[in-house]
Amino acid sequence: MKSKVTLRRKKSMVKRRTRKFNKRTLRKKIGFFSRHRYPQSNEFTRDKIKTHRPDAAQLTCSELLDKIIEALEEKKPLSVVSVGQTESFIMSQYTLYSHREILRDPETLKANEGVTTGLQHRGIRLPNKLARVEAVEAVRQADIVGYNTIIPSGALAEKVFEVHNIKPKYVFEAFLRRVMMYSQKEKFESMLGGRKILLISSIADQVKDSMDKNLKPKLGFDVVGSISINSFEEIPMVKEKVADYDFDLCLIAAGINAVILAPFIAQTYQKVAIDMGGGLSSLATGEMLACKWMTKRIGLDKLMGM
């Protein structure tokens, strides 16, 4: 007959084994659900993805405007978007960045401050999976895609293109949008001249007033409408309002929202839609919207000559 001490020892061993099994099983379950709900991408994973230029023709500023003017003259749809640092980050949610990394990233902190104007305006709160899905599909559909081809932040855009299998036909340096009205003045004015123009931006009314006052007498265009947008959630409302206007050219500045809207407008209404970004501010103020990347890292002379 077994002693009571031996029985107690066996029971204790069984409890310890059960406890270990339960902890191990729980960790596995947590890992399973975590991986499926929030893919565990991290910096190491991002570094493993090689960056390379898309197999696309890179347009100069002059060539970009030629494409736009040609589409306007022939009344063909055309969408031009730009994937900057913020747009790249939004498109990399849960693919190149894990949930924890997204929450800690400076882009998320900036976006969630809720600034509604200026360079700090993001027009979205993060994380946002729906924005990622819509932006990825929009860039796939865009006819011409801009991104930072010179400064280091462009590497993330190239990784995003690789991960999502985005293969643009044409690309251009995104900062050209801020100088094109100065470096290619004649072609830029030809793009606007005699057109029916729709503006979409948080500063749309300000841009309209400035264009009517400073450019309309010379170029004879008609700004048929200005639609204000401040956040991602307003996209459905903007899509509905666009239907109220008869226009040839739509100029948009709304961050990631512009990326989503431009291909939709081009395809739905068979028009030319351009994500102008900071370039639209130049039309409002009459001054170039410059930053340290343009003046110190790239150089204005280089941009003006591209």
CA distance 274 to 284: 16
CA distance 302 to 304: 6
Cross-strand pairs, 250 = 198, 273
Collect all residues with Cβ–Cβ distance below 8 Å to 95 and sequence separation of at least 6.
Answer: 39, 41, 132, 163, 164
Secondary structure of residue 3 in the 3-state scheme: coil
pLDDT by residue for the chain (306 residues), tens only, comes to 555 555 556 555 555 554 444 544 433 433 433 333 344 455 545 665 656 678 889 999 999 999 999 999 999 999 999 999 999 999 999 999 999 999 999 999 999 998 776 667 788 999 999 999 999 999 999 999 999 998 777 899 999 999 999 999 999 999 999 899 999 999 999 999 999 999 999 999 999 999 999 999 999 999 999 999 999 999 999 999 999 999 999 999 999 999 999 999 999 999 999 999 999 999 998 887 766 666 666 777 777 788
Q: Which two tokens stand for residue 209?
A: 């007033």
Q: Rounded to two decimals, what is the model's pTM?
A: 0.83
